[in-house]
Copies of this chain bind each other. A is one copy, B any other.
Amino acid sequence: MIDFPGFGFEILTQDTSSRARHGRLTTPHGTIETPAFIFCATKATVKAAIPRDLKEHDVDVILANTYHLMLQPGANLVERMGGLHKFMGWEGPMLTDSGGYQIFSLGHGSVAEEVKGSRQADRPSLLVDISEEGATFRSYIDGSQHTLSPESSIEIQRKLGADLVVVLDECTPFHVDREYTARSLELTHRWSNRSLAEFRRGANGQQALYGVLQGGVFEDLRREAADFVMTQPFFGHAIGGCLGVDSVQMLEVVSFTMGYLDTDRPVHLLGIGGVRDIWTAVKLGIDTFDCVSPTRIARHGWALARKDSPRNRLNLRNARFRDDAGPLENECSCHTCCNFSRAYIHHLFKADEMLGIQLVTLHNIAFMTGLMKTIRDALVQGRLAEAERAWFEDTVNS
């Protein structure tokens, strides 16, 4: 076993009619009430948000990307600057991924691109080679060649200094068959063992390690992945890789995978953050989520909203908001909704003013932290099903 002295995961309330649970995840930089949403700070910034504004809007934990940061500004520089927390002015809990997802999605294209057929054929792959040793790829910034191994991923993550770190895995794309996925899973498990060994070697008591479950959409492989991670002394489990073509298949894969997993460790679902998906995945036992979507759509003028929109989002560029004096959401108490109208934000986007992005980003962050609080409160009160129904009835009736 590995000791994670400054870390803990306590289940405070277990739902009686599903695997959903309300928990508390302790790290050296503070606690995370779960279920929780982890906001993406890809390049050491939650895009367009000042850290104090994140705190004010109840953000507990953020996620930075090893892949981006190893290339720019580099892990050694971040280490010299006192680690990522100090570098970016974020004092709370933080997770870094292994870098694998970006390397492989840059090579294969993302699942979404594959499914939609939207990947540009003329975009050169940046993935050079996958070998037993690791993955070799070219920098998206300057084309320089880099190799990421399980050991170097852990070493980079140690230098970055996030509380929660993740083993290097091969993230399989959607188009590959069972045979490739099975072979890849074995590779991921060998890499996981090497990641664990490197983690042990350099353990400083400030980090806890998550294993990753791969296996694509294949139930037997996901079971194999679950069996593997459960035998290993990871602090938590992260479900990654290809989860299918759509939300239905994704939740099916998560469902059978969760069925094979123990319930004592925190489980993170990598890259998923749709509102409906979160409600469902919480009931499957997922504790934490991450997704770039809330901040990414904000930059395109989309505000998350329960009402007025079946897709849970309003396009603020739409002319119907031109003279709408109301806030983004009537019930919202975020800084944006307390001080600015839809008409003003519409104007900011039409005039290409950055402030529009800043204000919608704050709202979308508040929307997500509010959603997770609604879920946690419902769990504490033993009324998760009613809370879910009420959430979507509100949406439909408006």
Q: Judge whether B87 and A353 touch: CB under 8 Å.
A: no
Tell me, in angstroms, the Cα distance from A176 to B322 when the chains sit together.
Answer: 42
Q: Judge whether B81 and A50 touch: CB under 8 Å.
A: no
A335 within 8 A of B: yes
A121 within 8 A of B: no
Name A48's contact: one of B49, B351, B354 (CB within 8 Å): B354
Q: Judge whether B351 and A50 touch: CB under 8 Å.
A: no
Q: Judge whether A322 and B73 touch: CB under 8 Å.
A: yes
User: Contacts A81-B341, A347-B73; is A43 near B354 (CB within 8 Å)?
Assistant: no
Q: Judge whether A351 and B80 touch: CB under 8 Å.
A: no
Q: Judge whether B323 and A80 touch: CB under 8 Å.
A: yes
Interface residues of A in 14-56 (CB under 8 A from B): 43-45, 47-52
Q: Judge whether A325 and B81 touch: CB under 8 Å.
A: yes
Closest to A354 in B: B48
A348 within 8 A of B: yes
User: Contacts A72-B350, A353-B43; is A343 near B81 (CB within 8 Å)?
Assistant: yes
A260 within 8 A of B: no
Tell me, in angstroms, the Cα distance from A344 to B72 when the chains sit together.
Answer: 11
User: Contacts A52-B335, A87-B341, A343-B87; is A355 near B47 (CB within 8 Å)?
Assistant: yes
Q: Judge whether B48 and A355 touch: CB under 8 Å.
A: yes
Q: Judge whether B323 and A50 touch: CB under 8 Å.
A: no
A339 within 8 A of B: yes
Q: Judge whether A344 and B89 touch: CB under 8 Å.
A: yes
Tell me, in angstroms, the Cα distance from A344 to B52 when the chains sit together.
Answer: 16
A358 within 8 A of B: yes
Residues of B within 8 A of A44 (CB): 344, 347
Closest to A358 in B: B50
User: Contacts A73-B347, A347-B73; is A45 near B355 (CB within 8 Å)?
Assistant: yes
State how many angstroms separate the Cβ of A336 from the closest Cβ of chain B: 9
State how many angstroms separate the Cβ of A61 from the closest Cβ of chain B: 18
Tell me, in angstroms, the Cα distance from A71 to B308 when the chains sit together.
Answer: 29
Name A72's contact: one of B43, B45, B77, B347 (CB within 8 Å): B347
Residues of B within 8 A of A73 (CB): 322, 343, 346-347, 350-351
Residues of B within 8 A of A339 (CB): 51-52, 89
Closest to A324 in B: B81
Tell me, in angstroms, the Cα distance from A351 to B88 when the chains sit together.
Answer: 13
Q: Judge whether A353 and B47 touch: CB under 8 Å.
A: yes
Residues of B within 8 A of A88 (CB): 344
Tell me, in angstroms, the Cα distance from A68 to B353 when the chains sit together.
Answer: 13
Residues of B within 8 A of A348 (CB): 45
State how many angstroms separate the Cβ of A354 from the closest Cβ of chain B: 5
A180 within 8 A of B: no
State how many angstroms separate the Cβ of A91 from the closest Cβ of chain B: 10
State how many angstroms separate the Cβ of A83 from the closest Cβ of chain B: 12
Residues of B within 8 A of A47 (CB): 353-355
Closest to A72 in B: B351
Interface residues of A in 328-345 (CB under 8 A from B): 335, 339-341, 343-344
Q: Judge whether B357 and A354 touch: CB under 8 Å.
A: yes
Tell me, in angstroms, the Cα distance from A267 to B355 when the chains sit together.
Answer: 31
Q: Judge whether B355 and A323 touch: CB under 8 Å.
A: no
A384 within 8 A of B: no
Could you jot down 12 A-B contacts, CB within 8 Å?
A: A45-B348, A48-B355, A49-B355, A50-B355, A72-B350, A73-B351, A77-B323, A81-B323, A81-B341, A87-B341, A88-B344, A354-B358
